[in-house]
Amino acid sequence: MRSSTVSRKTKETDIQVELNLDGSGKTDIDTGIGFLNHMLTLFGFHGNFDLIVKCKGDLDVDSHHTAEDVGIALGEAFKEALGDKKGIERYGFMLLPMDEALARVALDFSGRPYLVYNVDFNRSMLGEMATEDFKEFFKGFVNNSLTTLHIDVLYGENDHHKIEAVFKGFGRALKTASCMTSDSLQSTKGVL
């Protein structure tokens, strides 16, 4: 079973993440931010990951530290669960529609963290979460999972639909990239 458990405690957040890459999409999410809970539930379901995320953060300040640190812990969990990456597909891609919005997510478990993020919002908040903090979540994930990730919302009007398309597409692209498809490492360099 490809799974991991990560704990991260700082003066700003206290986080526990449990991840099973070969799960069935069961989630138990409590970040203290309703909208982030919703997005991570969709992410786990569409990635077919079993995912538990518990976070107590300094939400009296704002959503920034919680969003960023959950991304960091989730990235660490993926890195640990993937191990040496032998046999994984490595690349994942999804073009996902959500009503009028269309998101494109492409990623590579390359060992080289890089984020391209092209998402524009009309509002500054979705529920209790600042829309600018979604980028911080993905930066935390990329830097700690050592993943190259490109996210583009090609078009859309409703901010909820746009970021929902992103999280669903992110889960499905990760499912493809983490899928076991061979006995070898998918790199001509011999290392990922």
Q: Which residues pair with 96 in a beta bridge?
A: 103
Residue position matching structure tokens 């991991």: 4
Q: How far apart are CA 94 and CA 107, in angstroms?
A: 9
Q: Which residues pair with 27 in a beta bridge?
A: 51
Burial class of residue 181 (count of CB atoms within 10 Å of its CB; 0-12, 13-18, 19+): exposed
115 touches 149 (CB < 8 A): yes
For 78-107, write each residue's pLDDT tens digit. 999 999 999 999 999 999 999 999 999 999
- pLDDT value, residue 155: 98
Please check the confidence at residue 190 and state whether its pLDDT lies above 90: no
127 touches 63 (CB < 8 A): no
For 34-76, write each residue's pLDDT tens digit. 999 999 999 999 999 999 999 999 999 999 999 999 999 999 9
Q: What is the mean pLDDT of residues 145-155?
A: 98
Instruction: Tell me the pLDDT band of 191, cut-offs 50, 70 and 90.
Output: confident
Q: Would you call 103 helix, strand, or coil by DSSP? A: strand
Q: What's the whole-number average pLDDT of the chain? A: 97
Nearest to 158 by CA among 126, 110, 191, 190: 126
For 19-37, write each residue's pLDDT tens digit. 999 999 999 999 999 999 9
Please check the confidence at residue 1 and state whether its pLDDT lies above 90: no
The domains located in the chain, with CATH, are: 3-178 (3.30.230.40)
Global model pTM greater than 0.95: yes
Residue type, 171: G
Please check the confidence at residue 188 and state whether its pLDDT lies above 90: no
* Number of other residues whose CB lies within 10 A of the CB of residue 13: 22
